[in-house]
Each structure stands twice: as structure tokens, then as C-alpha cells.
Structure 1
Amino acid sequence: MKPYRSVKVVLQNSTNERLTVQGLALLRGTWTDKFAPKQGEELPEQSAATWSSESLELGAGVSGFLRLGSVRGYTQLNWSLPWVGRFEFRVDSPEGLRAEVVADERQPDAVVVAVALHEARRAGEPEHARQLAPT
């Protein structure tokens, strides 16, 4: 069955740190087969992972979060794709890491988000929480 709403998150770990999935939940929807994160799953440095969530229920959106731990602290990814309304995505990263986010919303019911996690280039960069700006 084709999902009514889906969010695919592609995370590029462009750091020299190992990231570990330390928390995950869907507030609405289900994890897509073969793209579900697992507690304790590790992302080695300079690697990538893809996770996906979907809603198979008419009139329901999808929303959830992933928390990744590293020696610097936690990076949290939050998303919400309601049945009606605007897609929202937020990354909160610890000091010393920064996130670049690009969302492909050309298909508003099937959003793909690319997140590149980098080590901060210099001290004093603006806030460590990055939020996707409305388009």
C-alpha cells in the first residue's frame, strides 16, 4: 500500500565522531520497512544512514524524532508532516557540531530531508539549534 504521507531523513556524518542512535520515537505514523532506526545503531565517522517514516492512514500525518549520541553530546532530529499544514524539521546539535539541512518538498506528501553533520569550524558560531526556514 502506498503511504499517504512520508518523511525520509538522510544523515551524512561528516565528523570524526561515531554517532549512536540513543533514542527514537514516532508520535504519529510507522517506520518504513527496511528504513527503521534501531536503538544502539552506530554511524561511523564519515558515513551516512537513511531512515524513513510513513503514514498509511487516510487523514493522518507523520511525526517523530531521533536522538544520536556522541562524545560531544546529543544531536536530535525532529520532524512533522501533518495531513494539512506545513512540514517542519529541526536539528538540535551540541556545541562543536553544526548541521546543514536541505529539504526536498517537491512532492509535499513525500518529503526527503538531507542533513549533513559537521564539526564546527570555529568557536562562537551562531546558535547550535538549526531550524528549517519556511519556503
Structure 2
Amino acid sequence: ISMEALASFEQESLGDQQIQSMLAAYTGWIEKNANYIKSSALDNDLKKTAEEHIENCKQTLSRIETGYALICSDENVKRSFQLANKAMLKQQKHAPKSIREVSFDDNGHPVVNAPFQKNNNAQGIWRPFQIGFLLMCIQGAIDN
């Protein structure tokens, strides 16, 4: 999902279409797996756990949809969302391109402070779980 498209988010824009596609795909995935669980021959404990996971997914979807509704209905929320996407896109464009060397602490343990190898094809692109997380946190940010 394009950070650039979301940086200028408006209803019925490319960014809006991308979010709606993500929501539809996640909804479909939940329904497909819920149907599989219902029709499967899992033992009762496994089936109960699987059903709990599906309920958690439905709650997550509801929170994502709430965040989406807020960026569509509240100008301040939409502007904040646009600026967050613009900031992330700028950071990716201006971040150092090289991978830093591994460093070690006094005990010889590696210090994890270097970035993972960069995927140049993914610059300016949110993975669905990333934008989903951002959207699901909007209501909580407003409430606090």
C-alpha cells in the first residue's frame, strides 16, 4: 500500500482503494478460515482455540475499520494520517543506504542496532499488517 498515495489520502483516491482492497482481503481471509474451522475435523480443544483466534481477527478487523472510518470522517484525523505517511516516506527516501557493521558489547554479544538488508523494491510501500496496525491504533490515539 503506497505511502505516497496515503500521504494525499482522500475518499475514492488510490490510497482509499488500496485500503479498501486490504480490508476486503482480510475480511475474506477471516471468513475462509472461519468456514474451514467449522467444517474441519479438529478435536474440540484445537477447534475452540482456532475459533478464539478467528474472534481475535474479527476484533482486529473492527478496530482497523474504525480507524479507516475516522480518517474518512474527521479532517484532523485524516490530516494526521496524511502527515504520518508523508513523514515515513521522506524518512525512507533520506535514510542512509548502507548497512552498518555489526557491533559487540563488552561481553562479546552482538548489539542489534543495524538495519535489516533493505528491499529497494519496497521503498514507500506499507505491508498490509503495518498499515493495518496504524489504522487500528487511531481510535486509541484519539481517546488518549
TM-score bracket for this pair, using the shorter chain length: under 0.3
The answer to which structure has the higher helix fraction is 2
The answer to which structure has the higher strand fraction is 1
Taking structure 1 as the reference length, the TM-score comes to 0.23
Taking structure 2 as the reference length, the TM-score comes to 0.22
Report 1 or 2 for greater relative contact order, CA contacts < 8 Å, sequence distance ≥ 6.
2
